[in-house]
Chain A
């Protein structure tokens, strides 16, 4: 008896031994997966020996075996978000350009007027997880404002929220149009009209700049603000400028998407719990972005992530040219597959899958933590549909 006891205790002392006992008892399925078998376990085994055999795609608890979900295995949020209740679909936001109302000023210039309303709204940011957001026009991110270089912009901002807010544009404007406390602040029920020229061309953003700033940003008050270059102002790169200008035949060749990298602190401990592009965790994992193989892709990428120092974008199996801030017509980085952005940094990515096979190509933050907490997605490259 003493002998048995002693050897048993020794076994128990060896933690790896404990598990190997458990695994052996657990039966056939595991034995098949654990190639090292009983003997290896008793000797201490190798790391990961205790890894349960859970990776059979058919065993996916979601019961979903579509190719784009298989890529994530069980490492994904369960279910899907009710876009109808949210009032916006992250896929639709990719190409939803808010171009406002266009009119002529007496001096012949174009005046572009936007109407924006601040609104408190509970939104679903991961299946079943609600977040009490503050929004521009009832959506997070807010509307993607798109204008052309040199136009006069007029933004009529009304505040239906319970808190004071502002619209602070990253662009060139007068101090009194800066959208900070003391310059363009709007109390609940109030209104302010921001007015300035659309300068410089590029991929920009706007956000609420009321205090405390951190909360007013992470609650959802931000959006992309894109100023297309006016081709006549850039004769040396007129073709490139035309391809960037919304509505031109050259521009129609491109598949353009706006992606706002954001995150949510659902339990208000000043740490993000959920990361995403266009708000909903894993949305583009579950609903891949269709890309026609022959046509080039342009992504307007904005990072507004609060709390974390940087965010990043990594494209699988391909490389892209990058225009930091989008304020140049020649790339600032050529042939890269990963770029990083601090908060409010943004840029334009241009790439093509022309030489690639059709199929699913992943993109995600290359902070694995962000990716695993929702910031990942897929491009589904297909042959031309038309």
Chain B
């Protein structure tokens, strides 16, 4: 009787000690910090050089009041924005909130500069040490405002480049159903090819955005870690009830593509905000064509099912509609690190569906007594990536 009781008692006793042991390294850390901050031996490294100053421009808004910049400080010491010049002329400005900017602190600068429509401007923020941080406005146009009247046409554009092509692609569904098993392998491989293209494209875009963000955000690492986490989370969720097939798989594909289209929306919106988009019929059609293939990919896992019509509508919206908020946010010129995060999640989501579609392809092929990698599937992958690549030529701004 004693025997089982004793370990239990010992266990509770030990667990308290265990907690104390957890505290030991923490206490050591605190001690190290206190020592470092009080002993001041780091002074030996002070060579009298001016502080390292960094400044990132996160948002640029042009409106009837002038130019507004949202900036984020970096560097080793608080940064003071002493003066502003626009096109080599001192210009009055107000800073909100005022004062020196601590590391990673942000502020709005309001510069009542009479910018000229369609022309270029160069803004220099001069710090207290005389260092200059330059923001080039390549083509000055008024930044869209988050008003219903302004957002409506963008919603329309978002729907046109997001939802419409996906829906058109889905119209291939009956045709896909008529294909036999081997040709179905080709379609699944095609889906993998196009998803592979989207993965690279999204990741690249995310890394590019991350490059514009403040150095302290460690853009590249942030994007890669976020993508990996998103991938793992979606894998775990997706496989709670075994490998996803059918509608579940289609939904995950639609989600991944939806996140990609969100990123695409960001890019188009940002192009608007920067005034560099000569966005014509050609470009919009290019996006549409580019995204038609996505519709085929989404419905590919459904060919041996008879899903009701509403599922198609739902999938089309899930895959296409994110382009609309993407366009809005992009045109409103939000911080590049937010865009980078959204794109990283998208890349992770796409990687998840690549794995799941690949898994599905393997099982589908085996069911028809074939290897998952054949000339047929190879041709599918190449065709999927190839079509995406060729149609992307039309849409690269």
A residues near B (Cβ < 8 Å) are 1, 4-6, 8-9, 12-13, 15-16, 18-19, 21-23, 25-27, 29-30, 45, 47-55, 59-62, 74-79, 126-131, 264, 266-267, 273, 281-282, 369, 372-374
A372 near B130: Cβ-Cβ < 8 Å: no
A26 near B280: Cβ-Cβ < 8 Å: no
CA distance A267 to B143 in the complex (A): 31
Decide yes or no: A18 and B141 within 8 Å by CB, A126-B83, A130-B128 being known contacts: yes
A15 near B83: Cβ-Cβ < 8 Å: no
By a CB distance below 8 angstroms, the chain A residues around B153 are 8
Q: Mark B87-122, 1 if CB is under 8 A from A, else 0.
A: 011111110000000000000001011111110000
CA distance A319 to B43 in the complex (A): 59
Q: Give min CB distance, B156 to chain A, whole Å.
A: 6
CA distance A30 to B392 in the complex (A): 40
By a CB distance below 8 angstroms, the chain A residues around B277 are 12
B92 near A22: Cβ-Cβ < 8 Å: no
By a CB distance below 8 angstroms, the chain B residues around A6 are 281
CA distance A270 to B85 in the complex (A): 18
CA distance A23 to B160 in the complex (A): 26
A-B contact pairs, 14 of them (CB 8 A): A1-B156, A13-B280, A22-B63, A25-B147, A26-B64, A26-B142, A54-B65, A59-B112, A126-B82, A128-B82, A130-B130, A267-B132, A273-B124, A372-B90
Interface residues on B, range: 35 or more
By a CB distance below 8 angstroms, the chain A residues around B278 are 13
A52 near B115: Cβ-Cβ < 8 Å: yes
Max chain B CB contacts within 10 Å: which of A6, A75, A264?
A75
B156 near A4: Cβ-Cβ < 8 Å: yes
CA distance A324 to B378 in the complex (A): 84
By a CB distance below 8 angstroms, the chain B residues around A266 are 126, 129-132
A373 near B89: Cβ-Cβ < 8 Å: yes
A50 near B147: Cβ-Cβ < 8 Å: no
A15 near B63: Cβ-Cβ < 8 Å: no
Is B221 part of the contact surface with A, judged by Cβ < 8 Å? no
By a CB distance below 8 angstroms, the chain A residues around B139 are 15
By a CB distance below 8 angstroms, the chain B residues around A127 are 82-83
Q: Mark B196-236, 1 if CB is under 8 A from A, else 0.
A: 00000000000000000000000000000000000000000
Contact of B141 among A19, A52, A78, A374 (CB under 8 A): A19
By a CB distance below 8 angstroms, the chain A residues around B126 are 126, 129, 266, 273
Decide yes or no: A62 and B64 within 8 Å by CB, A78-B83, A127-B82, A266-B130 being known contacts: no
B118 near A15: Cβ-Cβ < 8 Å: yes
Contact of A61 among B92, B157, B275 (CB under 8 A): B92
A50 near B90: Cβ-Cβ < 8 Å: no
By a CB distance below 8 angstroms, the chain B residues around A53 are 64
Is B326 part of the contact surface with A, judged by Cβ < 8 Å? no
Apart from A126-B90, A267-B132, list 4 A-B contacts with CB within 8 A. A15-B141, A51-B115, A129-B127, A266-B126
By a CB distance below 8 angstroms, the chain B residues around A30 are 64
Decide yes or no: A9 and B93 within 8 Å by CB, A16-B117, A74-B112 being known contacts: no
Q: Give min CB distance, A272 to chain B, whole Å.
A: 10
B280's nearest neighbour on chain A, judged by CB, is A13
Is B391 part of the contact surface with A, judged by Cβ < 8 Å? no
CA distance A39 to B110 in the complex (A): 29
A54 near B113: Cβ-Cβ < 8 Å: yes
Is B188 part of the contact surface with A, judged by Cβ < 8 Å? no
Q: Give min CB distance, B229 to chain A, whole Å.
A: 37
CA distance A282 to B83 in the complex (A): 12
Q: List B301-327 residues whose CB lies under 8 Å from chain A.
A: none
CA distance A15 to B92 in the complex (A): 28
CA distance A362 to B66 in the complex (A): 27
By a CB distance below 8 angstroms, the chain B residues around A60 are 92
CA distance A129 to B84 in the complex (A): 11
Closest A-B pairs by Cβ, 5 of them: A266-B130, A50-B117, A22-B142, A128-B82, A372-B89
B residues near A (Cβ < 8 Å) are 63-66, 80, 82-85, 88-94, 110, 112-118, 124, 126-132, 139-145, 147, 149-150, 153, 156-157, 160, 272, 275, 277-281, 284
* CB < 8 Å A-B pair total: 161
Question: What DSSP secondary structure best describes chain B's contact surface?
Answer: loop
Max chain B CB contacts within 10 Å: which of A52, A264, A266?
A52
Max chain A CB contacts within 10 Å: which of B64, B126, B141, B275?
B64
By a CB distance below 8 angstroms, the chain B residues around A22 are 63-64, 141-145
Decide yes or no: A128 and B83 within 8 Å by CB, A15-B275, A373-B90 being known contacts: yes
By a CB distance below 8 angstroms, the chain A residues around B113 are 52, 54, 74
B89 near A75: Cβ-Cβ < 8 Å: yes
Decide yes or no: A54 and B130 within 8 Å by CB, A15-B118, A127-B83 being known contacts: no
CA distance A337 to B304 in the complex (A): 90
CA distance A267 to B83 in the complex (A): 13
By a CB distance below 8 angstroms, the chain B residues around A126 are 82-83, 90, 126
B88 near A8: Cβ-Cβ < 8 Å: no
By a CB distance below 8 angstroms, the chain A residues around B85 are 273, 372-373
B80's nearest neighbour on chain A, judged by CB, is A128
A50 near B156: Cβ-Cβ < 8 Å: no
Q: Give min CB distance, A33 to chain B, whole Å.
A: 8
A281 near B141: Cβ-Cβ < 8 Å: no
B156 near A52: Cβ-Cβ < 8 Å: no
A374 near B90: Cβ-Cβ < 8 Å: yes
Q: Give min CB distance, A82 to chain B, whole Å.
A: 12
By a CB distance below 8 angstroms, the chain A residues around B132 are 266-267, 273
Decide yes or no: A5 and B160 within 8 Å by CB, A25-B150, A52-B114 being known contacts: yes
Q: Give min CB distance, A9 to chain B, whole Å.
A: 6
CA distance A239 to B275 in the complex (A): 66
By a CB distance below 8 angstroms, the chain A residues around B142 are 18-19, 21-23, 26, 50
By a CB distance below 8 angstroms, the chain A residues around B92 are 60-62, 74-76, 78
Contact of B156 among A5, A75, A264, A267 (CB under 8 A): A5
Q: Give min CB distance, B331 to chain A, whole Å.
A: 11
By a CB distance below 8 angstroms, the chain A residues around B140 are 50
B86's nearest neighbour on chain A, judged by CB, is A75
A74's nearest neighbour on chain B, judged by CB, is B92
Contact of A372 among B88, B149, B156 (CB under 8 A): B88
B90 near A29: Cβ-Cβ < 8 Å: no
B284 near A9: Cβ-Cβ < 8 Å: yes
Decide yes or no: A54 and B114 within 8 Å by CB, A5-B156, A273-B130 being known contacts: yes
By a CB distance below 8 angstroms, the chain A residues around B110 are 61
By a CB distance below 8 angstroms, the chain A residues around B124 are 273
A77 near B90: Cβ-Cβ < 8 Å: yes
CA distance A126 to B281 in the complex (A): 50
CA distance A198 to B132 in the complex (A): 43
A50 near B83: Cβ-Cβ < 8 Å: no
CA distance A61 to B66 in the complex (A): 12
By a CB distance below 8 angstroms, the chain A residues around B279 are 9, 12-13
Q: Give min CB distance, A294 to chain B, whole Å.
A: 34
A47 near B90: Cβ-Cβ < 8 Å: no
B130 near A267: Cβ-Cβ < 8 Å: yes
Q: Give min CB distance, B284 to chain A, whole Å.
A: 7
B82 near A129: Cβ-Cβ < 8 Å: yes
